[in-house]
Structure 1
């Protein structure tokens, strides 16, 4: 069946979570398909930040570390994220950035596997994950080994300390089998670190069900925590006592306000902390996580699948020669569709000129993020129409669209 605008509106009318779109700031006339890069602003965030600034900071001053429980925010928000990723409340903490948390957990995993240095990953993994392995490799602490995803299990042997993978691939949306790969790594004595940056808040994740060891994720994509929002880290409870993270800042101390010279790590997940928590960033993240938790991952995922099926069918009708590189059918994938075209950058710019905001990834990937908390089926229909018209008209060839600018 060829999807029509009437079909889209009928699906929106029947959507059980359609009302949540009103809780986000979506500019009129904009179709926003880049929430897997930066989530939209929840309307409640401005009020929450205003409260933190005016009352907690402005009136409470330093007392708000206790009276407003600023000191407990990393643990509190971590506990909110935990059920959304299949973890226990005392296994997740919100802190630092994804990159910093990756560094901490890669280094900690290597220390937990003495005599092994290999960190196994795949080519084309998100660059920061690979760069951090390279940084530790330059210090003589790690040895990076990259193999294609279909060969990962065969590459696991007793030299591997850590398998580091992104659960949902940032370009294609392809999803790894977490439980299967974790089991294969454990069979050779290796640990596994999962990057959930393109999973958490959009698709079901079951860290404990998959017997995961370690995980990280970001707060500014599907959790809508704002640009540069704090990230989160997961350490399975069975590993927490042995985990030695390298950034032993004062907030990871067992008694940070004792101000003693010798370091003793906090007994649980709080040993993943480093410095003073960024309260404004955490307050914004808390509002985003609260909203996603209220909607529920199962409902979000169900809508994500329906949106992607609708959009894929609409694009196949309007641009049948444009190859989709995201997994088809009922198989596992993230909340996005990705298409390949040699002029994907210019096409993305032409779409932006029409009010449709997609994403571009080098060298030739047009990425359409489907944040189900606020994307409508009607948005998908308009995006498919705009893409078809841009390709048919050749307007992407205009110099204003082909001239490269910095993109995120």
Structure 2
């Protein structure tokens, strides 16, 4: 992820009881200076536990955590949160209701103000301008942080006098004011309404980039992770399923789980017949090299597979003889979502640009560009048993 690594995780694991499956299982990853990493996954996958271990609120059973080239957690070392040079933004913001905005932000500077912290900061090789020596330094740092998040002039207000979006910015300003090496955000936009969330996505990324710090944020919102992050790490059952750029995660999912969770892709059972896959919606020709690579060269897995097709890659055309029926249609402004029913009873979802809408109940021919289809091993034999190939349509 880059030359200067700000965070290094090596085989980090956490289990809360001997009877339970580990909350985090042998997670390893690197984060470069200035990059934003999104931890994405469903509820209970371990992403918040991993974030809390990085912050120092939980101690791993095994593994090594290194921040800014300093080991903060290992079998032989443990540093408390206040010594890790990280800022934290909680899901509920955790602002002090009896303190003004300025005092909330200044609260995050208390540890740096202490003279005892100066040798530690200097030993860590941090810039001298991070050390606060006077009240004027603190006041200027607070002013700079509020300006960075667009709240200049609101320092005398109290949290209850601010909107949800403004409270989120105060929490971010408090985390950024000490100029930490790493900022951790636990679902920072989850308490906001949809319109505010969409607007603050770009603002959040702009603020973090302007601050020049690295950041990790936890989310279960796929679109949020893809839009904000430089890198996305998808977690499942405590394990790191895939880590890559947003484009890699979306366009080249490494597993069926990533494809289903991130892209909400369709999976169509298929049987191989020469150079084509026969499915109940038609025949698809796919490059043999891509197939072999996708299935790790195991030719035994090539007879029955599942084809992954993203919703937006379907091409629908009216055809009275086609086997696919439009069961329902949703108008979503810029897009139309179609629920497609195939002969076996399986339901597929197609997403198209708004335009001439196809009618509910209409039969449609379904086609897909060859390079938009990916191949995965069949989930189980039962998924192949209730359909018959529809071979009239050639792609």
TM-score by length of 2: 0.26
Which structure shows the bigger proportion of residues in helix conformation?
Answer: 1
Which one has the largest radius of gyration? 2
Higher relative contact order (CA 8 A, sep 6+): 1
TM-score by length of 1: 0.25
